[in-house]
Structure 1
């Protein structure tokens, strides 16, 4: 491929050679022949492409939105002669990133670092890398692709927010559920014996009545669990309000995790992740929010809430959505009764001020920052 400067040299050479028969100036002929020789020399240079080995890594591979991230290219010249300086280009998150690589002697290895754009949330593929090769005068240019690919997770930066409200349990031992951790002192239910159970927990009256060995299922009370549901259906959102909703959902999940609560996050499209402090980290939660997308085919929106299984029973629920129709919110009432406390976040133009959710603590805002301010002021 001829570069812009190469096209200029070609046009000038043609004009010089064409004008000599008319003007008969030896100087014009000399300049034209020199230009032709330079173009031929550049063309002969191009087949001798540098032989390179390219390895890329991203540091860190998971980063908060607008946080610092860098790519590191390690390039080895595996050819038998020195390669000239060259330019590498790749696309990251819709932006072209250009990296200048130094000249390398045969067998030498060089390393170059360059910043990566992190303004857009998502899981961004990086690569393949295209290395531009040109002649010494830059008259010809070509690109060679290297299949060095990787991915970078950019998750929303959580706002400092108070955890979901959990309410107060009227029971002396605290609220219990089938999914609460076992081994506590609070009685939840009777179940059949499983090999390995403590025989001291056998409930003999029920065993005698049913003919089956029955065990007292004791659990740990007073461990409120958090469930954050992000509505990913297309109807309630604009592009801006969806990004605000994702950041609010990530903020609520991070607040629950740092508050020491077991937390589970779901999307209405079916994505799911969970974290428990001291057992698992919040990386899985943030990865879910990094890849959350709007309008996945088959996404039923908030209509999935009544179908949640027993794992949702007794949890503190936080629903994050845009500006759905009032009828959709009103239909959530019966489903919300299964939860200890239900909170609904409404993100969208006008702050969703005219919408209400029966039986739920509701906060509406236009942006994620405005929501965080209202939420903290109201909850605390």
Structure 2
């Protein structure tokens, strides 16, 4: 900053109004203090930024290596030395010196620079619940000298796995395999791999990161719905409705000609037999569009396993629709689920979390009718605590002519079917029963 520009800013800060006769007014002491602070900040800001940058680069990493036990030892050493100097206790001074010696020895363990090349490899980044998630860590010693034994840490979700590296010669590669449990649906962050240099007493602990973290998707379990269970999706041309049309592909009947009718639809054989013009009448068809409403309100489920069963059932329905290239929409109380591909669908299903402060199944059904007004098949996937009255209210939100099903998920229950008005209610106790339950629904 030039002297001229600095002087200009100082003059700006110290500017003040004048009396009518031209003499300057006096400034309040608080104003003088405030303006003096502004002037000082002009010169202090660059120096302060350099101090902060230096602290972050050199001091902060050094302080980060001191463990909680290390801080306790340092604090105790300072306290004992103060007592020894104040009261002349030589024993306290000796104990303080011992603590300092331990810290100096610990420094020798963490000094030095490791030269590793580390590769974290997950065989599959997407697995289903219960499948094996296998990975490997390959470590190469890139230095020209042998590397002493060390430890590697691998964070896996909330846990941390520990790998011991042996003494490695130059360019030597050491590989470890590991397996990640997949008992629950989750997105597990694996990594980053970090090396740890520490003294035997764990007073100092120096970490170095070697890889980037990777996400492991543990998808919900799904079941195949091929065969008769997919009958509700089979009509490639669409589902007929009760709405009549003069132009479509599903023939319904013949009627008298009315001025304005398309002459291409005149049935000439019948016209010749009856002596008057007759035209074909058709039923409108609707392209098969399946909509799935998955309730994530945990108050509607008896157990957590019921909630997981509901997610698996909705994911199975969605995968079948995608497999048959059907139009598909899936929504929850939190919003829509991506379903352009099977991977997107299962990834979003993996991230689904339950809430108990959002709308119930009735509200979800109303939202579905607004979001997907052109659906031809609707599935409401809910918990066992949803009452028949709530299901009746939910069914009333489904537009007329739309085939509606409700799947009540209750782990251990026997498969069953019931009807509430135009709604077919299916009870699902095991995911493997989904195909059989759907066969009953379309029979």
Given the two structures, how large is their TM-score scaled by the length of structure 1? 0.64
| Secondary structure, aligned partner of 1:331 | helix
SS in 2 for 1:257: helix
**What's 1:332 paired with?**
394
3-state SS of paired residue (2:314): helix
Query: Do the aligned partners of 1:57 and 1:72 also contact (CA within 8 Å) in 2?
Result: yes
Counterpart of 2:337 in structure 1 is: 272
Structure 1 residue 165, shift from structure 2 partner: 5.2
Structure 1 distance, partners of 2:326, 2:142, is: 54
Asked whether 1:144 is paired with 2:210, we answer no
Distance 1:134 1:336, change over 3 A: same
Distance 1:329 1:104, change over 3 A: same
CA distance in 2, matches of 1:267, 1:254: 17
**Alpha-carbon deviation of 1:291?**
0.9
Q: Is the 8 A contact 1:88 1:131 kept in 2?
A: yes
Q: Distance in 2 between matches of 1:165 and 1:258?
A: 14
SS at match of 1:252: helix
Give me the whole-angstrom Cα distance separating, in 2, the residues matched to 1:173 and 1:264: 17
1:369 and 2:432 are equivalent in the alignment: yes
Conserved in 1, the CA contact under 8 Å of 2:149 and 2:166? Answer: yes
- Shift of residue 283, structure 1, vs aligned partner: 1.0
Return the offset for 1:69: 2.4
Greater share of helix: 2
Query: Residue 320 of structure 1 corresponds to which residue in structure 2?
Result: 381
CA distance in 2, matches of 1:59, 1:246: 25
**Closer, same or farther: CA 130–258 of 1 in aligned 2, 3 Å:** same
Alignment of 1:239-258 (within 5 A): 239-258=304-323
Deviation, 1:261, is 2.4
C-alpha separation between the residues in 1 aligned to 2:351 and 2:401? 27
Greater CA drift, 159-168 or 236-245: 159-168
The total of aligned residue pairs comes to 300
How many angstroms does 1:252 deviate by?
A: 1.4
Determine which structure has more spread, i.e. the larger CA radius of gyration. Answer: 2
SS at match of 1:113: strand
Alignment of 1:191-206 (within 5 A): none
Q: Map 1:284-295 onto structure 2 (within 5 A).
A: 284-295=344-355
**1:38-64 alpha-carbon deviations (Å, 9 max, x no partner):** x99787334346343434232211222
In the TM superposition, what is the alpha-carbon distance from 1:223 to its structure 2 partner? 4.1
Are 1:341 and 2:406 counterparts?
no
Partner of 1:359: 422
Question: 1:258-312: per-residue Cα shift (whole Å, max 9, x none)?
Answer: 344232222221032233xxxxx31111112111110075455441322333644
Residues in 1 aligned to 2:156 and 2:402: alpha-carbon distance in whole angstroms: 43
1:330 deviates by: 1.9
CA change 1:142–1:236 in 2 (3 A) is same
Inter-CA distance 312–288: structure 2 relative to 1 (3 Å threshold): farther
Q: Distance in 2 between matches of 1:350 and 1:69?
A: 28
Contact 2:121 2:136 in 1 (8 A): yes
Query: Would the aligned equivalents of 1:264 and 1:274 in 2 still touch at CA under 8 Å?
Result: yes
Q: Could you tell me which runs of 5 or more consecutive residues in structure 2 were left unpaired when the two chains were aligned.
A: 1-65, 68-102, 242-246, 250-259, 261-283
Q: 1:160 to 1:166 in 2, by over 3 A?
A: closer
**Post-superposition CA distance 1:201-238 (Å, at most 9, x none):** xxxx8xxxxxxxxxxxxxx9564222222111121122
1:282 and 1:68 mapped to 2: Cα distance? Answer: 20
User: How far has the Cα of 1:369 moved from its partner?
Assistant: 3.3
Q: For the residues of structure 2 that align with 1:156 and 1:226, how far apart are their CA atoms?
A: 20
* Residues 173, 337 of structure 1: alpha-carbon distance in 2 compared, 3 angstrom cutoff: closer
Larger relative contact order (CA 8 Å, sep ≥ 6) = 1
Out of 86, 90, 94, the residue aligned to residue 150 of structure 2 is: 86
Contact residue 417 and residue 426 of structure 2 kept, 8 A: no
